Amino acid sequence: MNKAIEIALIGDVHRQFDQHDITQFNQSDYDLLLFTGDLANYRHREGIAVARQMAELQTPALIIPGNHDTLTAPQLLAEIKQWPRLRRWLAWGQPFRLRQWQRALGQVQVGGYSAHPVPGAEDVAVLVGRQFAMGGSVLHCQPQLQRQFGIGTMAESAARLCQLVEQTSQQKLIFLAHNGPTGLGSRPDSIWGNDFQAGGGDFGDSDLRETIAFAQAQGKTVLAVVAGHMHQHVKTGGQRTWHLVQDGIHYINAARVPRIFGENGRTHHHHIRLTIDDNSVTVREQLCQGNDF
């Protein structure tokens, strides 16, 4: 690696993305932008509007669709409640909405069960996990995953991701997911802990955890795992852990929601800077305005 690689990590957007972000990221020194998804709140047209703004980005960018992307509000409810017949019926329009969403994003790449070389780093790749993940190790949006990828079970998802690891020539990996892996804590304020049910619980994804372990067993170096979904503000109060290092891997929850917020009379735009210099990884939270990049 001839120079340090700079990557911006943008957590769940939820409509919080504007022309200031476009200008700043286009003028920045970033080699790559990684988005954890959830452009919309509960309306598909909200996500389309944000996607059209993001299409103005000139810096290479990669996004994984979250559970608020291309789902209608009734479909999202059916997925949360795990109502089988209603899930299937409400998913009929999702392929069209996904194509519409992808077109609106322009040159921003949409990932899912896919590998993407990092610009300027021949030995580093971003592996993008399961789309529309909602946590709890449940295979949400199964009708869409079946149509698009042939994935019908969590075991099939893990197998596809492990196959992706095998097929990727790069030895250094960054995982991009919407929700993080299991195994990182079960407290409400754990990095992907359950903060909306009594007693907490580990709300990570088992297929992602299995894939990370498989990559390590194959001799790959997992530099970082980047995800969102579980917002940094804990519903029971306080802030969840957003960054931890375990077995040499940096786990990063970038979902500071809202990512644009006012404080002390100033407006801040949140993202995280990931710097890779050979095998050295540095993670820094960024609260930017004006020319703070």
Which amino acid does the sequence have at 65?
Answer: P
Q: Identify the CA nearest to 121 among candidates 254, 259, 270, 5.
A: 5
What's the rounded mean pLDDT across residues 61-80?
96
In this predicted model, what pLDDT tens digit does every residue of 196-233 receive, in sequence order?
888 789 999 999 999 999 999 999 999 999 999 999 99
pLDDT at 290 over 70: no
In this predicted model, what pLDDT tens digit does every residue of 72-128 receive, in sequence order?
999 999 999 989 899 999 999 999 999 999 999 999 999 999 999 999 898 999 999
Which amino acid does the sequence have at 216?
Answer: Q
pLDDT number for residue 134? 95
**Alpha carbon distance 87, 83 (integer Å):** 6
**Alpha carbon distance 13, 135 (integer Å):** 18
CA 226 to chain centre: 6
For 95-233, strand residue ranges (E) read 109-110, 114-118, 121-128, 172-176, 221-227
Report the SS3 class of residue 227. Answer: strand
pLDDT number for residue 292? 53
List for the chain the helix, strand, coil content (%; round to 5). Answer: 30, 25, 45
In this structure, are residues 48 and 101 in contact, taking their beta carbons and an 8 Å threshold?
yes
Structural domains of the chain sorted by starting position, each given as residue range(s) with its CATH number in brackets:
5-288 (3.60.21.10)
**Alpha carbon distance 87, 92 (integer Å):** 9
Helix H or strand E encompassing 62 = strand 61-63
Mean pLDDT of the chain: 94
In this predicted model, what pLDDT tens digit does every residue of 130-152 receive, in sequence order?
999 999 888 999 999 999 999 99
pLDDT number for residue 199? 79
Report the SS3 class of residue 202. Answer: strand
Taking the alpha carbons at both ends of the chain, their separation in whole angstroms is: 23
Token pair for 261: 């917020």
* Backbone φ and ψ of 154, nearest 5°: -65, -35
